Amino acid sequence: MLPTGYSLTLAGADDVRALTEHWSREVLDNGDDGLFFSPYEPDEDARPATPDRVESIARALVRPLDEPNWQRAWVLRSDALGPRVLGSLSLYGGRLASELHRVGLGMGIEPEHRGRRIGSAMVEAALAWARAQERLAWIDLGVFAMNARARALYKRFGFVEVSERRDAFRVRGVSITDVSMTLALRG
Ligand SMILES: CC(C)(COP(=O)(O)OP(=O)(O)OC[C@H]1O[C@@H](n2cnc3c(N)ncnc32)[C@H](O)[C@@H]1OP(=O)(O)O)[C@@H](O)C(=O)NCCC(=O)NCCS
């Protein structure tokens, strides 16, 4: 359950700009105190809110699940901070028609709002939605080996670690091991 004062909603076209601004902020502390959670450098504007990109994400958010490159995103806001997006969880379909029974998951919460079970509430909402979509069978994600909090969260929801890729990324000069986790949506 979300703590009081927060809301979580499925994003529409009007949310995309605020969502991309959140994505830029969420990597700012990537690697601080040796904890990495994103493959982007903290100052790398890898996902800028250009008009083309905003438009392309808005289209993906309403694309049917039987078409490649669909996306759904849950956006976290608080009563106190208004329209600013503080966290998000995205589910996305693959590029090939033959992989559309599988879903990718990515999520992040800005530092001041972590550790309050909000991440758990976000995963819960996304899993309930995914289980209600008949064609979806699996959720896949990548998590950095050092990210104990995220690994614990995913395990608690039944995600299983299936493989490990050493030296998958090098961020701020640090070599990072990426762990693949997967969840069977139907038992
Ligand atoms: C990972 C993240 C989404 C989790 O959300 P959150 O709201 O902070 O997490 P929650 O409070 O819901 O739950 C985290 C769980 O990990 C546990 N935990 C916290 N720190 C931990 C640690 N160092 N080692 C192991 N478990 C830890 C918590 O106790 C909690 O488990 P519990 O509910 O059984 O007590 C959030 O911290 C975040 O955005 N981090 C930075 C970005 C990131 O890592 N994204 C994921 C990339 S794969």
Distance of alpha carbon 3 from its chain centroid, rounded? 19
Query: Residue 175 pairs with which residues in a beta bridge?
Result: 170
Segment 148-169, tens digit of pLDDT? 999 999 999 999 999 999 999 9
- Mutation test residue for ligand 1: of 153, 159, 178, the one with most atoms within 8 Å of CB: 153
pLDDT confidence band for 46 (50 / 70 / 90): confident
**pTM beyond 0.75:** yes
Q: Which three-class secondary structure state does DSSP give residue 131?
A: helix
Instruction: Please enumerate in sequence order all residues whose Cβ is within 8 A of that of 31, keeping only pairs 6 or more positions apart, or say none.
Output: 42, 171, 172, 174
**Rounded-to-integer distance, Cα 165 and Cα 123, Å:** 24
The per-residue pLDDT for 85 is 98
Q: What is the pLDDT of residues 90-127, one digit of tens each?
A: 999 999 999 999 999 999 999 999 999 999 999 999 99
Q: So what's the pLDDT on residue 48?
A: 79
Domain 6-184 CATH class label: alpha beta
37: tokens are 């959670």
Domain residue ranges of the chain, discontinuous segments joined by +: 6-184
Q: Give the distance (Å) from ligand 1 centre to CA of residue 149.
A: 4
Q: How confident is the model at residue 43 (pLDDT cuts 50, 70, 90)?
A: confident
User: How would you classify residue 11: left for phi > 0, otherwise alpha for psi between -120 and 50, otherwise beta?
Assistant: beta
37 within 8 A of 107, measured Cβ to Cβ: no
Q: Model confidence over 16-38: pLDDT tens digits?
A: 999 999 999 999 999 999 999 99
pLDDT for residue 98: 98
